[in-house]
Amino acid sequence: MQRLVYLDNAATTPVDPLVFEEMKPFFAERFANPMTYTHSSSGDVAHAAVEEARVRVASLIGSKPEQVVFTSGGTESDNWVLKGTVERASRDRLHKPGHLVTAEFEHHAILHSALALQRQGYEVTFVKVGHNGIVDPDDVRRAMRPTTVLVSIMHANNEIGTIQPIADIARVAHDHGALMHTDAVQTTAHIPVDVNALGVDFLSVSAHKFNGPKGVGALFVRDRAALYPFMDGGGQEWGLRGSTHNVPGIVGIGKAAQLGKERLPEELKRLTNLRNMLFDKLSTRIDRIVANGDMKQRVPQNLNIRIEGIDNEPLLLAMNEAGIIAAGGSACNAQETLASHVLTSIGCDLKEAKSSIRLSFAHGTTEKDVDYAADVIPGLVRFLRSMA
């Protein structure tokens, strides 16, 4: 069988076997509705599992358990916090359309939510991003208005992995009376994430980016009164998000959070080494290759490189034929175009953006995987360049 080297972990990661084991009983055996815990011992088992998962997620991000609200994933968390805070403050406090500050290179869950708010008459400023892929807190400061309700800047970018100065930006937001949100989907369980050190009011988490299941995430909520409920329903999640709990998924995110926290110090070092090793080898073997985004202020699991003179689409297909899975833009964007809005936001022209690929690692990535990629990719680049 052909070797398969999966280097698209920023798109999604496999469920860890230990996570899967822990989830299994909650499909058919311990299937009860956790909301029935007051009168049902079966319900109590499910309820206890949900609350244990809440404690584990809280422990991973340094919050109190009661500040963790389970959602269906990062996109829901992002949609909810943007719309829920801006709409609430505009109606209850400002009595006019409020203002949102975000950045040009955010994930589409943020960008499209911001555009949806804009279409409804709310105001949005998209702050520019530096060529190194990092937002300058002073640019955020200049964007602030008396009506600014929320500042939402991602903790690390999903395509280039650059880590943002969230604590500094949160101070700017708070100095101007605004709330601070960060989409921490690419950082949770990969680098230390502490809601208090970051000074954020909201933080989005997605389980499947750290070996948990798809379809489950969380939103850290410091003050529940600051946002409208996401869905009205049966009063789950303190009335913020109706809908019967996704118990297996929640158990899964809890276990993934626990494992992520335990493994983080070692994985941070290991993946940083693997990433740097791959970049060094590729740089030696391929000329005219550049890293997109700052290489130091960067999550360990991300490498994004620009290879002059090639189009990323045939390169990715040729890599796939050789058993290496990687990405051009982000997976969420792959249907539209392979010239990423993130890369154009940091100053790449379309041609440069289309000659870039993202290689992303996770707990399952080994040194052998990296060696294979470093051995195979240069030949494919030569193959494509030989046609030009």
Residues that bind other proteins (CB under 8 A): 309-311, 313-314, 317-318, 321, 334-335, 337-339, 349-351, 354-355, 384-388
Residue placing its CB nearer to other proteins in the complex, 41 or 386: 386
Helix (H, G, I), strand (E, B) or coil at 91: helix
Query: Which of 13, 367, 369 is closest to 190 using CA atoms?
Result: 13
Strand residue runs (E) in 117-274:
123-127, 148-152, 179-183, 202-206, 217-221
Residue placing its CB nearer to other proteins in the complex, 4 or 197: 4
> Whose structure tokens read 């990092």?
134
Query: Residue length, the chain?
Result: 388
Q: What's the chain's Rg over C-alpha atoms?
A: 21
Which of 266-273's residues contact partners 24+ apart within 8 Å by CB, and which partners? 267/190, 267/300, 267/363, 268/190, 268/191, 268/300, 269/300, 271/190, 271/300, 271/301, 271/361, 271/362, 271/365, 272/300
348 assigned to active site: no
Nearest approach in angstroms of CB 40 to other proteins is: 48
Nearest approach in angstroms of CB 387 to other proteins is: 5
Helix (H, G, I), strand (E, B) or coil at 84: helix
Nearest approach in angstroms of CB 348 to other proteins is: 11
Q: Which residue among the candidates 94, 332, 334, 384 is catalytic per the annotation?
A: 332
Nearest approach in angstroms of CB 288 to other proteins is: 13
Residue placing its CB nearer to other proteins in the complex, 96 or 351: 351
Residue placing its CB nearer to other proteins in the complex, 136 or 313: 313
Helix (H, G, I), strand (E, B) or coil at 64: coil
DSSP calls for 259-284: HHHHHHHHHHHHHHHHHHHHHHHHHH
DSSP calls for 16-39: PHHHHHHHTHHHHTS---GGGTTT
Residue placing its CB nearer to other proteins in the complex, 196 or 320: 320
Nearest approach in angstroms of CB 341 to other proteins is: 14
Residue placing its CB nearer to other proteins in the complex, 52 or 311: 311
Cα distance between residue 128 and residue 301, in whole Å? 24
DSSP summary character for residue 82: H
Residue placing its CB nearer to other proteins in the complex, 35 or 290: 290
Q: What is the helix (H) or strand (E) element at residue 322, kind and residue range?
A: none
Contacts of 51 (CB under 8 A, 6+ apart): 65
Cα distance between residue 326 and residue 338, in whole Å? 12
Nearest approach in angstroms of CB 296 to other proteins is: 29
Give the residue numbers marked as catalytic.
332
